[in-house]
Chain A
Amino acid sequence: MSTTDLGMPAVRDDSRDTGLPTHSPAGQGHLRGTTSFPRAARTELADTQLRRNLGKATGIIRAKRAGVVAELEDWEDLRLAGSAIKADVMARLPELLEQLEENVTARGGTVHWARDAEEANRIVTELVRATGADEVVKVKSMATQETGLNEALEAAGIAAWETDLAELIVQLGHDTPSHILVPAIHRNRSEIREIFLREMPDVDPALSDDPRALAMAARAHLRRKFLSARVAVSGANFAVADTGTLAVVESEGNGRMCLTLPRTLITLMGVEKLVPTWSDLEVFLQLLPRSSTGERMNPYTSTWTGVTPGDGPQEFHLVLLDNGRSAVLADPDGRAALHCIRCSACLNVCPVYERVGGHAYGSVYPGPIGAVLTPMLTGISGADDPNASLPYASSLCGACFDACPVRIDIPNLLVQQRAASVESHTRPTAQDLAMKAAAVAMTSAGRFRAAEKGLGLGRLLAGREGRITSLPWPASVVASHWTGARDVPAPPAETARQWWERTGGGA
């Protein structure tokens, strides 16, 4: 059986930091919130409807996933294969990207390279403008959420219509996504009904909150858009380097409509979405649906290669997005974060995500993978950066690693990013000082004993967060943050060490 190293740090070689690959620039796209995770979480935790909606939804998906994963005898081998393919991709990403560009171009597509979110948005906006269209239909895509494309298009006078049901609910509700796969997971059906009644122009006022009735209302609403739109914007789940093929997997069929009906198709894709060969898709098309929706197979898998005359979009643009990915790639220990296939299994099994939801992370990438990928993409600018708090948004319980179909050791990456967070401090914080003092106490039994005894357990236990004590463990733990909900263990009459010295282990 596999084991996770729950918080295994890795070797970091500062000397190879050439300063070349850049992080996602501050102020662009949706990779940084405005408050630290603990503060944002506090608000979300108080939303009882949210707690109920999330608990129910993640519980259902978890059970479905566990069921279909258990069916496959070779699940662990598939995970190993997925992990190995992605490791290979990252090891030769530049070469594979060029191969992809070559093949897409040879098949009549045009490839664009975007350094960051703003560049990507600018490229897409100009491409849409060139068609003369003032609206686009959209296939659900994390990359366009990451860059904030909808807002950029809107600013340019172009309406972007989300066609994925959950994404539509978020858009109509003037809300932000809270889950990678089910952006409206924080909404229940009566809330969705209200949003539809309020925001859909000619919806039946007698609309019920029956899921089928809601889906039908969305279908009627979208059908007109599909038929009239001349431009579609999508993301991609996979891009096959050796054929130049793009792939989108989905459940609803709205993506298929967008990918086939409009005249122009623009795909925005993170550079890490590559697989080397067509046959590699076999592994991921098994891993992804079982991990994400808990289905053996997703209902729709659309693939396209450049342009096919007389069939589907006659103009195809592929925009390849960096936005901090090169910086992640440059860290050999952290680059596994780029293996992510956005299945959302780690979110669904995460006890923190389940209670807090996606908004508290402040980034379009929430949950365990978001807690590492977000600060890796943006970098951490200092102790006050909201993204500095993300790597700590985990109890390091390890459930994410076990669920991840490509075996990303997220607990390990969390600890690495905690180290990055600590290393970003320009002035030592109270915690830095306490940790240093504790390390000194812990390297000598004499000092350790003095810390236990000399200071007196009473004083240790009375430590407040931020106060420097010689032994922050468990002293700072017993700060008011602890006693708000939990009693403090009464200090024993003697420590284990004193007991041993007194009895020699005899009684």
Chain B
Amino acid sequence: MKIAVMATCLGDALFPQAVQATVQLLQRLGHTVLFPPGQTCCGQMHVNTGYLREAVPVVRHHVEVFGPVAEGTWDAVVAPSGSCTGSVRHQHAVVARRAGDERLAERAEAVAARTFELSELLVDVLGVSDVGAYYPHRVTYHPTCHSLRMLRVGDKPLQLLRAVRGLELVDLPDAEVCCGFGGTFAVKNSDTSTAMLADKMRNVLDTRAEVCTAGDSSCLMHIGGGLGRLRTGVRTVHLAEILASTEATQTPAAAGSPGGVRDEPVEAQR
């Protein structure tokens, strides 16, 4: 299959290791992966913050860049993010229609129909749940809200994790409760967001897992940021990185935060 990777703005700028892992995993499974160079962002931040008009050109740009999948030039688009896939699938056409652009809406729907979150692509489209990964760590999985309730990925990520050799999967208590990220919610309502994060961290720590994984770098940035701040020693690693890991190319357990973390903005430290 010819699969285009949608890196997402956050994945591109801050979590390239999740994007690289997605590419390497799909290549290992025998697929051709490409990186459309024009890609930027799906526009979800604009939509979810109420900037629906401003989102229209961002959606148009996305639809142009990923248009070849609608023509069949590529077979699928994959994103290592439930949230961004959800935006493409459930927001793009509506943003376009609201602006009165029916043609864009239809084109957005055609692109969305072939756009998948990683676990959906693997289990539903490619029909694999054992990707041949090896990851000898104690891991707990946080189902992110948008993969759970917008995409309804169900237990697909768990099927994939259960098949990973060496991996000890521990159930996360109250897994389905939001971690408190919510995009701009995390800064607009930072106190409430932090209170939610505290409970998520407590549950993660209760599992005594070394690694907390999820299908969204954004939620992991939030959970990992909290776990790091408290120096808990628990890492956050994107699902793609675990699935990309093999005996030969074992991702270090710390891959989720290759350069470590900082508790101050970079500039402030200079």
- Residues of A in contact with B (beta carbons under 8 Å apart): 1, 3-12, 37-38, 41-42, 45, 51, 351-352, 355-356, 389, 391-399, 401-402, 415, 417-422, 431-432, 435-436, 438-439, 441-445, 448, 452, 457-463, 465, 471-474, 476-479, 481-501, 505
A212 and B45 CA atoms in complex are apart in Å by: 50
Apart from A458-B267, A505-B33, what 5 extra A-B contacts exist at CB < 8 Å? Answer: A394-B182, A399-B178, A415-B52, A443-B58, A492-B259
Are the CB atoms of B149 and A6 closer together than 8 Å? yes
A-B contact pairs, 29 of them (CB 8 A): A4-B150, A5-B150, A6-B86, A6-B149, A8-B91, A10-B94, A389-B188, A392-B189, A394-B185, A399-B145, A435-B46, A438-B54, A441-B40, A442-B43, A442-B61, A443-B61, A448-B41, A462-B266, A462-B267, A465-B187, A472-B45, A474-B221, A482-B186, A486-B194, A487-B224, A490-B261, A491-B266, A496-B12, A496-B19
- Chain B: minimal CB distance from A219 (Å): 37
Residue B246 at the chain A interface, CB threshold 8 Å: no
Residue B14 at the chain A interface, CB threshold 8 Å: yes
A484 and B158 CA atoms in complex are apart in Å by: 33
Report chain A residues within 8 Å CB of B47. 7, 9, 415
Are the CB atoms of B35 and A494 closer together than 8 Å? no
Are the CB atoms of A496 and B262 closer together than 8 Å? no
Report chain B residues within 8 Å CB of A443. 40, 57-58, 60-61
Across the A-B interface, the 6 shortest Cβ-Cβ residue pairs? A395-B182, A418-B50, A486-B225, A462-B267, A490-B259, A397-B178
Residue B264 at the chain A interface, CB threshold 8 Å: yes
Are the CB atoms of A495 and B185 closer together than 8 Å? no
Are the CB atoms of A38 and B267 closer together than 8 Å? no
In the complex, the chain A residue whose C-beta lies closest to that of B51 is A435
In the complex, the chain A residue whose C-beta lies closest to that of B58 is A442
B197's partner among A459, A461, A479, A485 (CB-CB below 8 A) is A485
A396 and B196 CA atoms in complex are apart in Å by: 13
Report chain A residues within 8 Å CB of B186. 477, 481-482
Are the CB atoms of B13 and A457 closer together than 8 Å? yes
Contact with A along B186-206 (1 / 0, CB 8 A): 111111111111000000000
Are the CB atoms of B41 and A442 closer together than 8 Å? yes
- Chain A: minimal CB distance from B229 (Å): 5
B16's partner among A38, A399, A492 (CB-CB below 8 A) is A492
Residue B90 at the chain A interface, CB threshold 8 Å: yes
Of B3-11, B118-126, B130-138, B161-169, the one touching chain A: B3-11
- Chain A: minimal CB distance from B200 (Å): 9
In the complex, the chain B residue whose C-beta lies closest to that of A11 is B98
CB contacts under 8 Å to A, within B60-106, are: 60-61, 65, 86, 90-91, 94-95, 97-98
A230 and B98 CA atoms in complex are apart in Å by: 54
A395 and B148 CA atoms in complex are apart in Å by: 14
In the complex, the chain A residue whose C-beta lies closest to that of B80 is A496
Residue B222 at the chain A interface, CB threshold 8 Å: yes
A481 and B65 CA atoms in complex are apart in Å by: 34
A3 and B192 CA atoms in complex are apart in Å by: 26
Report chain B residues within 8 Å CB of A38. 188-192
A10's partner among B57, B98, B189 (CB-CB below 8 A) is B98
Report chain B residues within 8 Å CB of A431. 49
- Chain B: minimal CB distance from A236 (Å): 33
Task: Identify whether the interface residues of A are mostly helix, strand, loop, or mixed.
Answer: helix
In the complex, the chain B residue whose C-beta lies closest to that of A488 is B262
Are the CB atoms of B226 and A395 closer together than 8 Å? no
Report chain B residues within 8 Å CB of A12. 98
Report chain A residues within 8 Å CB of B46. 435, 438-439
Residue B110 at the chain A interface, CB threshold 8 Å: no
Are the CB atoms of B19 and A490 closer together than 8 Å? no
A401's partner among B44, B149, B190, B270 (CB-CB below 8 A) is B149
Report chain B residues within 8 Å CB of A501. 37
A176 and B93 CA atoms in complex are apart in Å by: 43
Residue B129 at the chain A interface, CB threshold 8 Å: no
- Chain B: minimal CB distance from A278 (Å): 35
Are the CB atoms of B189 and A37 closer together than 8 Å? yes
- Chain B: minimal CB distance from A480 (Å): 8
Are the CB atoms of A458 and B13 closer together than 8 Å? no
- Chain A: minimal CB distance from B184 (Å): 7
A136 and B258 CA atoms in complex are apart in Å by: 68
Residue B213 at the chain A interface, CB threshold 8 Å: no
Are the CB atoms of B35 and A500 closer together than 8 Å? yes
In the complex, the chain B residue whose C-beta lies closest to that of A501 is B37
B50's partner among A419, A462, A505 (CB-CB below 8 A) is A419
Task: State whether A419 and B52 are in contact (beta carbons under 8 Å apart), knowing that A352-B189, A477-B187 are contacts in the complex.
Answer: yes
Task: State whether A490 and B191 are in contact (beta carbons under 8 Å apart), knowing that A12-B98, A495-B13, A497-B7 are contacts in the complex.
Answer: no
- Chain B: minimal CB distance from A242 (Å): 36
- Chain A: minimal CB distance from B117 (Å): 13
Are the CB atoms of B228 and A487 closer together than 8 Å? yes
Q: Which of A356, A439, A482 has the most CB of B within 10 A?
A: A439
Residue B17 at the chain A interface, CB threshold 8 Å: yes
Are the CB atoms of B191 and A42 closer together than 8 Å? yes
A438 and B48 CA atoms in complex are apart in Å by: 14
Are the CB atoms of B145 and A397 closer together than 8 Å? yes
A256 and B257 CA atoms in complex are apart in Å by: 62
Residue B152 at the chain A interface, CB threshold 8 Å: yes
Report chain B residues within 8 Å CB of A489. 14-15, 221, 224-225, 257, 261-262
Are the CB atoms of B16 and A483 closer together than 8 Å? no
Task: State whether A485 and B194 are in contact (beta carbons under 8 Å apart), knowing that A395-B185, A401-B149 are contacts in the complex.
Answer: yes
A458 and B270 CA atoms in complex are apart in Å by: 9
B10's partner among A42, A435, A473 (CB-CB below 8 A) is A473
A504 and B64 CA atoms in complex are apart in Å by: 22
Residue B151 at the chain A interface, CB threshold 8 Å: yes
Report chain B residues within 8 Å CB of A487. 224-226, 228-229, 261-263
A474's partner among B13, B38, B185 (CB-CB below 8 A) is B13
Q: Which of A351, A436, A472 has the most CB of B within 10 A?
A: A351
Are the CB atoms of A492 and B17 closer together than 8 Å? yes
In the complex, the chain B residue whose C-beta lies closest to that of A484 is B190
A352 and B150 CA atoms in complex are apart in Å by: 19
A9 and B53 CA atoms in complex are apart in Å by: 11
- Chain A: minimal CB distance from B39 (Å): 7
Task: State whether A493 and B259 are in contact (beta carbons under 8 Å apart), knowing that A465-B187, A483-B265 are contacts in the complex.
Answer: yes
Task: State whether A482 and B51 are in contact (beta carbons under 8 Å apart), knowing that A5-B150, A356-B192, A457-B266 are contacts in the complex.
Answer: no
Report chain A residues within 8 Å CB of B152. 1, 3
Are the CB atoms of B187 and A398 closer together than 8 Å? no
Residue B181 at the chain A interface, CB threshold 8 Å: yes
A488's partner among B23, B49, B192, B266 (CB-CB below 8 A) is B266
Q: Which of A37, A51, A438, A487 has the most CB of B within 10 A?
A: A487
Residue B111 at the chain A interface, CB threshold 8 Å: no
Report chain B residues within 8 Å CB of A442. 9, 40-41, 43, 58, 61
Report chain B residues within 8 Å CB of A477. 184, 186-187
